[in-house]
Structure 1
Amino acid sequence: MARIGIYGSSFDPITNVHLWTASTVAHRCHLDQVIFLPCSSKRKDKTMNTEDEHRWNMVQLAIEENDRFIADDYEMKQEAWKITTYETLKHYKNKFANDEIFFIMGADLLVDIGDGKWGNEELLVKENRFIVMARDGIDMLKTIGRSPLLRNHDDGNTFHLIDKGLAMEISSTYIREEFALDGEPRYLLPESCYNYIKQHLLYK
């Protein structure tokens, strides 16, 4: 039985912190595999800054030297109505029926789920397991404790809370802004992705 983490994000673009986070989670939670899942531009709650093709290519470039990391364009291929985290996790639980599936997310998303901002949040929390990464200014235990939804499904296995030990945040937004301003974000993202963005004149 393998332990598989699903790491969904816009990856617009993927950053070195995305990779460091995935590596830290895989090590700390003994994951056999981390699936990088770029979200679709068809999602109504997301606004992308470049095409799916470019984000997909950059994710593949970024992870190509790590055998534990794989990329999956599953969400990019789905119809807009079917793109929810609940449906996505159901897909992976069916695909890897004999394995343990975990959804990797930041504490900010835990807050949103607890506040009822996600679709199918009751079934999402009831039927799945989560690895939650600390974010500055968010008390994860208090977030769970003050939400009836999260608290009533916290059986000790639902949420694996991780303090990464280093408050390092490099946002994709900042990198995009640096490119737009003709700045130099070279060492904030993989070299292959930096070169790809330069070659294709992205985020200008």
Structure 2
Amino acid sequence: MGKIGIYGSSFDPVTNVHLWTASTVAHRCRLDKVIFLPCSGKRKDKAMKTSDLHRWNMLQLALEGNDKFLADDYEINQEAWNVYTYYTLEHFKKKYPNDEIYFIMGADLLVDIADGKWKYDQELVAGNKFIVMAREGIDMLRTISRSPLLRNHDDGSTFHLIDKGLAMEISSTYIRDEFSKGGEPRYLLPDACYEYIKKHSLYQ
């Protein structure tokens, strides 16, 4: 039995922090694979700055040469109305029935679940395991303890909290802003992605 982490994001664009975070999580949690899962541009709750195709192509370039990292286009290919994390994790549990599946997320998303903002939150928390990365200003233990849903499923293995050293805040938004204003974010993302953005005049 292996251990697989599902790492969802817009990856608009994928950054070196995404890669470093995935590598650190894989090392600390002893994951055999990390699946990078770009979300669909059809989603109403997210405004993408470039197309699904460009984001997918950059992700492929970024993951080249790392056998532990995989990209999966499952959510990109879903209709917007049907994209819920609960369904996504059910899909991957069926796809990898002999492996343990973990959903990798930031502590800000843990807060959203605690505040009842996620669809199928009961089923999601009851049937899955989570690796939660620290975010500045968020107390992860307090977030779990204040939520009846989270604390009643906190059996010691449901939530794997990763704190020290993972609160880097260089974001895709920062990189997009640098490109749009004539800045130079070259060393914040993989070289191949930087060249791809330049070639296709993205984020201008």
Note the residue ranges of structure 2 that are not aligned, 5 or more in a row: none
Q: TM-score, normalised by structure 1?
A: 0.98
1:65 CA drift (Å): 1.5
Q: SS of the counterpart of 2:135?
A: coil
After superposition, the Cα gap between the structure-2 partners of 1:34 and 1:199, relative to the gap in structure 1 and judged at 3 Å, is: same
2:16 maps to a residue whose letter is N
RMSD between superposed Cα atoms in Å: 0.8
Q: Is 1:178 equivalent to 2:178 in the alignment?
A: yes
1:166 CA drift (Å): 4.9
Note the residue ranges of structure 1 that are not aligned, 5 or more in a row: none
Number of corresponding residues: 204
2:7 maps to a residue whose letter is Y
Q: Percent identity?
A: 75
Residues in 2 aligned to 1:126 and 1:140: alpha-carbon distance in whole angstroms: 18
Alignment of 1:1-204 (within 5 A): 1-204=1-204
1:167 CA drift (Å): 3.3
Q: SS of the counterpart of 1:76?
A: coil
2:163 maps to a residue whose letter is D
Runs (4+) off by over 6 Å: none
1:161 CA drift (Å): 0.3
Q: TM-score, normalised by structure 2?
A: 0.98
Residues in 1 aligned to 2:136 and 2:76: alpha-carbon distance in whole angstroms: 30
Residues in 2 aligned to 1:47 and 1:114: alpha-carbon distance in whole angstroms: 24
1:43 CA drift (Å): 1.3
Residues in 1 aligned to 2:86 and 2:80: alpha-carbon distance in whole angstroms: 14
1:64 maps to a residue whose letter is E
After superposition, the Cα gap between the structure-2 partners of 1:164 and 1:37, relative to the gap in structure 1 and judged at 3 Å, is: farther
Residues in 2 aligned to 1:135 and 1:50: alpha-carbon distance in whole angstroms: 26
1:79 maps to a residue whose letter is E
Q: Deviations over 1:18-66 (max 9, x none)?
A: 0000000000000000000000011121110000000000011001121
Q: Is the 8 A contact 1:133 1:164 kept in 2?
A: no
Q: Deviations over 1:125-171 (max 9, x none)?
A: 01100000011111100000001111111111110000142532211
1:22 maps to a residue whose letter is A
Q: Is the 8 A contact 2:122 2:149 kept in 1?
A: yes
Q: SS of the counterpart of 1:41?
A: coil
